[in-house]
Amino acid sequence: DAGVTQSPTHLIKTRGQQVTLRCSPKSGHDTVSWYQQALGQGPQFIFQYYEEEERQRGNFPDRFSGHQFPNYSSELNVNALLLGDSALYLCASSLGLLAKNIQYFGAGTRLSVL
Amino acid sequence: GQQVMQIPQYQHVQEGEDFTTYCNSSTTLSNIQWYKQRPGGHPVFLIQLVKSGEVKKQKRLTFQFGEAKKNSSLHITATQTTDVGTYFCAGPADSNYQLIWGAGTKLIIKP
């Protein structure tokens, strides 16, 4: 039973570029949440996808967008990268929308913006 | 806005000493979850508390949920090197559809 997988593991981009991160949820899970974790900080909620729609969104600008596919996998897109976007991006999957549902995290994608 | 605060930010202990982290919410929570993140790793779910005053134990770890359901604590007895990492608490936002995370408490074992 595969857990949550994310790709790539590391990424280096320059300011102004665009990036796409990918996530495959744990088998049987239908909800994907994306988080940004800066060094030494807790995860910050970006958005959540369920039934191929964005259901909840945190306090992130429109440069951050996403998608969920029929097989429940998801992408996070960030446009016009800023230095401050450098962080660990975590994908978490769960069964159902509710926050009380346990979230299973992938290993993350570490993004460095130069 | 709704906030979840954790203290302390860091705790240095000798191996074998106890460790405690405290979590406080600005609002009443329906439940609280605890996660552990090892250095270089990702958060891993430890436990969920739901009831007012609930206490749960996992070996050397004791989790408590306050009577008012606004605070929680994690206590580790006789720390071991395997306990090193950052411990996060997280509670549902008012919408009940997203988790609000504390900033975490980093457990450091002194050499």
pLDDT digits (tens, 9 = 90+) for B15-68: 999 999 999 999 999 999 999 999 999 999 999 999 999 999 999 999 999 999
pLDDT higher for B98 or B23?
A: B23
Which helix (H) or strand (E) segment is B87 a member of?
A: strand B85-92
Top pLDDT among A100 and A85 is at A85
Give pLDDT, residue A30. Answer: 95
Contact A47, B97 (CB under 8 A): no
Q: Which pLDDT belongs to residue A1?
A: 60
Say how far apart CA A37 and CA B75 lie, in whole Å: 25
Looking at chain A, the whole-number percentage of residues with pLDDT higher than 90 is 88
B85 contact A CB<8A: no
**Do the Cβ atoms of B105 and B11 come closer than 8 Å?**
yes
Say yes or no: A99 contacts chain B, CB-CB below 8 A.
Answer: yes
Separation CA B29–CA B96 (nearest Å): 10
Q: What is the pLDDT of residues A9-50, one digit of tens each?
A: 999 999 999 999 999 999 999 999 999 999 888 899 999 999
Residues of A in contact with B99 (CB under 8 A): 45, 99, 103
d(CA B75, CA A46): 30
Which of A42, A55, A103 faces B97 most closely, judged by CB atoms? A55
Is A107 within 8 Å of B41 when comparing Cβ atoms?
Answer: yes
Alpha carbon distance B77, A38 (integer Å):
29
The whole-number pLDDT of residue B111 equals: 84
Range list of β-strands (E), A1-86 = 5-7, 10-13, 19-24, 31-37, 44-50, 53-57, 64-68, 74-78
Q: With the C-alpha atoms ordered A6, B49, B84, B82, is the resulting torsion angle positive or negative?
A: negative
pLDDT surpasses 90 at A70: yes
Q: In this model, does residue A99 exceed pLDDT 80?
A: no
Higher pLDDT, A96 or A99: A96
pLDDT at B95: 74
A41 to chain B: which residues are within 8 Å by CB?
103-104
Task: Write the residue in A42, A56, A98 that is nearest to B101 by C-beta.
Answer: A42
How far is it, in rounded angstroms, from Cα A13 to Cα A23?
Answer: 19
